[in-house]
Amino acid sequence: MNHQPPLDQRIVDEYFRLVSSRKTKSIAWLYGMVATYGVKPEELSSFVWNTDSSISIANRKRSVRPLHPQWVFLFELKEKQPRDLQSCYTFLCSHLYESMAFQHVQLNITDLILAHRLRKNHYKQIKQPLASCPAYAVAS
């Protein structure tokens, strides 16, 4: 039996379901960050926004770009980031994992990261030019 990653629309729907519920509104931002950037919640404890909507994480050499840049704006991740992230970060992570355990969140972190990695690899293959196809010059 193969485990299929969630569709993008299902991830977006789940995010907005979390935002609209009083119980899960506080974790929606963290959920959106995981879905958009494909990193574990623990890695987001001390990140910095870059001007191109990518994020820099302390233990990574390169900045992490969003797979779907429009999700940064759709989920309003910059605007909805908690003001004092360092002080409430442990609570956010534990509340997210607790909500998954009690099934208030239908998609778990593993599903989100799996979906991100598979799509990233797929998009990378599409963007690469075919090396075996020579470019032909067109004379006019």
Q: How much is the mean pLDDT over the chain?
A: 87
Confidence of residue 65 (pLDDT cuts 50, 70, 90): very high
pLDDT of residue 40: 93
Answer yes or no: is pLDDT of 100 > 50.
yes
Looking at per-residue pLDDT, the higher value among 134 and 2 belongs to: 2
pLDDT of residue 86: 80
pLDDT digits (tens, 9 = 90+) for 16-63: 999 999 989 989 999 999 999 999 999 998 899 999 999 999 889 999
Which residues does 85 contact at the CB level (< 8 Å), separation at least 6? 45
pTM: 0.83
Query: By CB neighbour count within 10 A (0-12 exposed, 13-18 middle, 19+ buried), where does 82 fall?
Result: middle
* Cα distance between residue 33 and residue 20, in whole Å: 17
pLDDT of residue 55: 96
Spell out where the chain has E strands. Answer: 47-49, 55-57
